[in-house]
Each structure stands twice: as structure tokens, then as C-alpha cells.
A and B are shown apart, each in its own frame.
Chain A
């Protein structure tokens, strides 16, 4: 059984330097570094995220308390924002079950930050600034989700119905499920992953924004076009690097999205997840107008050091941990 790390010591030294550079970036902007729990009593409802869970037994919890490893520090960090923290960043481990591969390890390092009084476009500019510092990239391209579909495959993802999207997906021979798929977003995601993503962000990073409202997650709906949400993603050299939102402030809207997620989970044969009512209560108290983004640090370091597999930039991957 191999005991050695999956990353070389040389790589880990360079990784350490990138971490220092990231912290300096935020210190210079007077963004406070915070730490929030890895374990939580509630969890995400996202249909496509699989959580790790465990049970705490101890003083005050004699009957046991189910705890979930967080899939991103978002909920806890938003509660800090509601409590008046101001701008905050965190570098922490996130945990996602059923994810392992070239760009995935079930535990990975996430950089997440929030800027009060920013909207999604302000934060896109700040992510770009960080990428330029760490990766020495030229200024990022910025494009809407709708336009990138029109430019690359001649399909308007917002105006088209599921049958029109299916006809396009069938042309690209993307898999047998396409013929019978009943979820419009799954077809769009498939087209995006396999047809569009390989062709964008090759020379310089690209930010895609205004995702369909049905893929909004925790983003505000765009006031000028209710079909889209103020969500963005960064892609560079085939890697999905960051996901951000102009954050939804409306507690009842957030609660109903969580409930809708759970309804969709049940439809897919998954169990419903416990909704984080502490977050909902915090939103009711008031989340400042802010934008937030999560960036995969392991992937950033893969790009910075030109490594092909996530295992090459983390000390011990899941097969060695």
C-alpha cells in the first residue's frame, strides 16, 4: 500500500505560495478571513449534490444528531453576512459524495467570498482580477448564457421549448437519453458540457452569466428579463473554475426554491434533505445586498502549475487518504 503523497513536494511548495498570494489579494482589499463549520445540522437540497452524513452522539445529544459535511460554506457565510460581518472570504474544505475524477476529489478546497454592495458584474470583474494575479491571464471574456448558445450552436436556450432543444441535441449524438429526456435543463447542460464548453475559454478565461432562472440556485432573478438569474460561471481551458451569484435576499423565495428542490428530489427517487431554516431565519433578518462566488482552488492550482489531474495538486487523493 503506497504511503507517498499524490502531489510532489515541489508542487506542494508552489501550492503553498498560491495560497499566500490569494490571502494577500484579500488582505489588500480588507476582506476578512473567516472560518465556518464543516459539519452542519442541515444541508443543501440541490438535486445533483450528494452529501456525506454522520452522527454526533455526546453531551446534549444523547439520542444522536445527524450532521452533514458541507458541500460549500455558503449557508454559514451568509449567516455571518446577515449578522453584519461585511466583506468576508474563506478557504476551506468542501465535501461532495459521488464525485471523483480528473477534476473532482470527494473533498476539495474551496475559496468562497462575499462582497456587500457588489452585483454579479462587479464580482465577475473581481474574479477576473484574481485570475490575472494568480494565472497571469489576459482579461476574461464575458458573455451571456443565451448568446453563447446562439453563437456556438444557433439555439436560443431561453426562447426554445424542450422539443426544439431536443432536436439540436439529437444532431450532436449526445446519448440515448436525449430522445426521452423530460428535463429541459438536463438537455441544455448536456449541450453546454459537451458542445459549447470544449470550445470556450481556451485562450483566456470566460465568464458566462445570466443562466436560465430554472438553474438559478441561490441567485437573484434578473429584473430586466425574468427568464434568467444573476448567476455566473468562469471557464478556462476546459475547466469550470468558479460559480457566483448576485445573492438572493428574499427569504420566502429561497424557502420555496428549497422546497421545489426537495419535490424534484422525490420525483427522481432521492430522499428530501433537511432545509436549513437557520439560513432562512437569517435571510428574514436581512441579507445585505451582495454578490458571492465559490472558486475551486485545486483546479486553480492545476491551471497555475499546468497539471492534468487534480491528484497531482492535492497531498493525498481519495485513493491514498
Chain B
């Protein structure tokens, strides 16, 4: 099993921490002139998403986490699994609800998502930064009101609910930033 020492720590490194695949967000070495050196690291646990600040004695070794990321196109959901396909090899892969998490409300067929695999199994599904989705439900807005104060809620075809300007109508397609869950613009057809 491959290991890494604290000397190999860098941002983005994937290692096993407390039994969970984790990624290093920040690493600082603290070395007194006389005495033990420490690494102060900020770590994100990939499955729970928890971010921790930890102090590690320099020189300790950690198991490398077998984590890879790949771009796969979303196909469909059968209710239990969400199915993705590699558009080059046509290999298919199924992610469960835990891996999908909140991404479920941003999945658009044929959109390429980043699937994070741990020991070959999907643990995180990251949708594209921007997706285009149709409005299925919203209160009729006031025509001509372009500078609404706070807007109104709208439901999209995936079930996602977000605030949109008052002029948005049912049936329109919106561009949404999946990282913040916020409305960006209307998409002209």
C-alpha cells in the first residue's frame, strides 16, 4: 500500500485520514529552531464533507487514498441508482443516493459531471458549474417588472427551488450556478 510522508503534503493530495479518503486543502510547516516540527493541515474528508484543522508531527506517514476523478455524462436514474457513461469508452457506472447527494437537483441528461471514485466506487458527483433547466412552477409575474425586489420562488424540472426575478414565466429555461444554487440568466431559445 502506497504511503506519503508529511514532506510530500501539498494542496489537493488525497490521503486516508481517520479511515476516510480526504484531501489536503492547506498545509503549513511549523518548525521551531530547537524541537519537534509539525504540519498544520486543513483537510476535507471526501465522504462526510467535513473540513478539519489538524496538527501532525512532521515525518508521520499516511496511506494514499485511491481516489480518481473522471468526467462522465449523466444518463438516467432508475430511482435507486443514477447512471453515468464515459462518452469515449461507453463504459457505464452507477452512483447511489449518498454519492449523488444534493447534485440530484442539478442533473441534466447528457451533461458531463465529475465523478470522484474511491477504490473504484463513486463517492462524489459534482455537476457542471452551470446547468440549464426549465421552470415548471412559479407564480405569474408582473410583465415589465425587471427590477424586482428579491424576486419569487420558482421550481425547476429537477425539483430544485430557487429565487428568480419576477418576470420569469413557466416554461422558460434558466441558467443556474450549481455551486451557489443561484439564478444567472434566462436562456434564449
Contact = CB atoms under 8 A, between A and B. Distances in A.
A104 interface: yes
A215 interface: yes
A104 B29 contact: yes
Contacts of B35: 48, 185-186, 189, 215
A175 B54 contact: yes
A176 B28 CA distance: 17
A102 B28 CA distance: 8
Interface of A: 46, 48, 98-104, 174-177, 183, 185-186, 189-190, 192-194, 215, 217, 233, 240, 243, 294, 296
Count class of interface residues, chain B = 20 to 34
Nearest to A96: B31
A192 B32 CA distance: 10
Contacts of B40: 194
A100 B38 CA distance: 12
8 interchain residue pairs of minimum CB distance:
A175-B55, A101-B29, A189-B35, A186-B36, A174-B55, A243-B33, A189-B36, A177-B57
A237 B38 CA distance: 19
Given A176-B54, A186-B57, A190-B38, A240 B29 contact: no
22 contacts: A48-B32, A48-B36, A98-B58, A99-B31, A100-B29, A101-B28, A175-B38, A175-B55, A175-B56, A176-B18, A177-B55, A185-B35, A186-B35, A186-B36, A189-B36, A193-B30, A193-B32, A194-B38, A194-B40, A217-B34, A243-B33, A294-B33
B139 interface: no
Given A190-B55, A194-B40, 11 more contacts: A48-B35, A48-B37, A98-B37, A98-B58, A101-B31, A174-B55, A186-B36, A186-B57, A189-B36, A194-B38, A215-B34
B145 interface: no
B3 interface: no
Given A175-B54, A175-B56, A98 B34 contact: no
Nearest to B33: A243
Contacts, number: 64
Interface of B: 7, 18, 28-38, 40, 54-58, 60
Contact of A190 (B29, B33, B34, B36): B36
Contacts of B54: 175-176
The prevalent SS among residues of A at the interface is: mixed
B56 A177 contact: yes
A177 B60 contact: yes
A186 B55 CA distance: 12
A147 B175 CA distance: 61
A111 to B, nearest CB: 13
Contacts of B57: 175, 177, 186
Contacts of A174: 55
* Residue in B29, B30, B60 whose Cβ sees the most chain A Cβ within 10 Å: B30
* Residue in B32, B33, B38 whose Cβ sees the most chain A Cβ within 10 Å: B33
Contacts of A99: 29, 31, 37
Contacts of A177: 55-57, 60
A194 B30 contact: yes
A296 B31 CA distance: 13
A271 to B, nearest CB: 14
Contacts of B37: 48, 98-99
Nearest to A187: B36
B61 to A, nearest CB: 12
A215 B32 CA distance: 12
A48 B34 contact: yes
A232 B54 CA distance: 28
Nearest to B29: A101
Contacts of A98: 7, 37, 58
B115 to A, nearest CB: 31
Nearest to B18: A176
A189 B18 CA distance: 24
Nearest to B34: A217
Nearest to A176: B54
Nearest to B27: A101
B55 A240 contact: no
Contacts of A192: 32
